[in-house]
């Protein structure tokens, strides 16, 4: 008897809560760690990136206006739904990153726990970073962090799932929305994460995931006037490879609209290649959440 032929999945973009192909009609071949063909992924265009920014902007009012408690519940729900797809993620990660099954499972464990970690920060970050300021006068004076807006995220190139979650979760935990360029060569775990987000009470448009060529899309996002912040984590190349992205140039492009920039780790200047950090290390507090928040200070007089 002939073996059953499996039905293969089309890996698409995740924009505004939907799964479109690239409007450009382009795709590119994704291989496993040994170079064998796995699937064709959509190659996002400048128009796709702009559409994604529109979707993220449209989702911002609702997401930033939700209570921190509600956002925490939603992030925790993402962890719950990921847990149910644990095996699928482990398979994708093993294939993309060339890990053993056991190591891939550990990566998925850590990625799920990372959502839980940031779920817990949603309603605590204001308590840790906010302050009642004792100004020298009859005024009530309170500083609180508020989400910055739309964040463009270059997801890490090597750590296709744990690295991705480690940069996306803090953005949405703080109440911002984002457009994410997935790992260029290891994009498929990001697409599966999109499928989880679509079924986890995360409103459409809060997280938008683009697959494609980082060096092509990143400049459009860096210079986009409606992008408020830029995370350059994905500017670090895969280990042993040359950088395809000049993060200094992206930061300079972002300067036009004073877009906030989180620089990649591991190099003194952008002339040296950045180095991707070890994402299994637990984050050092809410630094990444606060990187995408503004401090608002409110004054109010006191008097009879």
Binding residues for other proteins, per CB under 8 A?
A: 68-69, 72-73, 76, 113, 116-117, 119-124, 127-128, 138, 140, 282, 285-286, 300-304
At its nearest, how many Å lie between other proteins and the CB of residue 101?
23
CB of 65 to other proteins, least distance (A): 17
DSSP state of 295: E
Neighbours of 65 (CB within 10 A): 10
CB of 200 to other proteins, least distance (A): 14
* DSSP category for residue 63: H
Decide whether 65 or 98 has the Cβ nearer to other proteins: 65
Give min distance, CB of 33 to other proteins, in A: 29
Tell me the closest approach of the beta carbon of residue 74 to other proteins, in angstroms: 12
Quick one: 4 or 300, whose CB is closer to other proteins? 300
Tell the smallest beta-carbon distance from residue 12 to other proteins (Å): 32
- Distant-in-sequence contacts of 300-304, Cβ < 8 A, 24+ apart: 300/139, 300/140, 300/141, 301/138, 301/139, 301/140, 302/138, 302/139, 302/140, 303/138
- Between 72 and 237, name the residue whose CB sits nearer to other proteins: 72
For 49, residues 6+ apart whose C-beta sits below 8 A from its C-beta are 179, 210, 217, 220, 221, 224
By beta-carbon proximity to other proteins, the closer residue of 39 and 116 is: 116
- State in angstroms the smallest separation of the CB of 145 from other proteins: 14
| Count of beta carbons in the 10 Å neighbourhood of residue 303 | 5
Going from the C-alpha of 218 to that of each of 33, 179, 224, 232, 300, the distances in angstroms are 24, 11, 10, 9, 42
Buried b / exposed e along 141-178 (16+ C-beta atoms within 10 A): eeebbebbbbbbbbbbbbbbbbbbbbbbbbbbbbbbbb
Which is nearer to other proteins, 75 or 155 (by Cβ)?
A: 75
Least distance between other proteins and beta carbon 227 (Å) = 29
Nearer to other proteins, 9 or 287 (CB): 287
Bridging pattern class, strands 139-147 and 150-154: unpaired
Nearest alpha carbon to residue 152 among 88, 235, 93? 235
| Cβ proximity to other proteins, 113 vs 146, nearer residue | 113
Is the Cβ of residue 235 or residue 293 nearer to other proteins in the bound state?
Answer: 293
Which of 274, 186, 202, 192 minimizes the C-alpha distance to 231?
274
């Amino acid at each position: 008897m002939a073996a059953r032929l499996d039905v293969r999945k089309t890996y698409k973009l995740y924009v505004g809560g939907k799964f479109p192909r690239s409007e450009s009609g382009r795709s590119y071949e994704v291989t496993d760690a040994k170079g064998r063909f796995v699937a064709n992924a959509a190659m996002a265009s400048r128009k796709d990136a702009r559409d994604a920014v529109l979707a993220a902007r449209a989702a911002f009012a609702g997401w930033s206006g939700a209570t921190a408690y509600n956002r925490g519940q939603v992030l925790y729900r993402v962890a719950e739904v990921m847990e149910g797809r644990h095996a699928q993620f482990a398979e994708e990660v093993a294939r993309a990153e060339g890990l053993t099954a056991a190591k891939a499972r550990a990566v998925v464990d850590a990625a799920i726990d990372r959502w839980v970690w940031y779920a817990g920060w949603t309603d605590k970050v204001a308590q840790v970073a906010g302050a009642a300021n004792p100004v020298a006068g009859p005024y009530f004076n309170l500083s609180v962090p508020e989400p910055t807006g739309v964040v463009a995220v270059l997801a890490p190139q090597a750590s296709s799932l744990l690295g991705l979650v480690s940069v996306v979760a803090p953005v949405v935990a703080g109440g911002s929305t984002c457009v994410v360029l997935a790992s260029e060569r290891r994009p498929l775990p990001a697409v599966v994460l999109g499928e989880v987000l679509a079924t986890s009470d995360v409103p459409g448009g809060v997280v938008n995931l683009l697959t494609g060529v980082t060096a092509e899309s990143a400049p459009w996002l860096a210079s986009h006037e409606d992008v408020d912040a830029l995370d350059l984590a994905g500017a670090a190349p895969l280990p042993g490879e040359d950088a395809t992205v000049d993060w200094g140039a992206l930061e300079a492009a972002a300067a036009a609209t004073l877009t906030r920039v989180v620089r990649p780790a591991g190099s003194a200047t952008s002339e040296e290649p950045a180095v991707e950090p070890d994402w299994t290390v637990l984050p050092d507090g809410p630094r990444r959440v606060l990187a995408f928040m503004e401090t608002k200070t409110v004054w109010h007089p006191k008097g009879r």
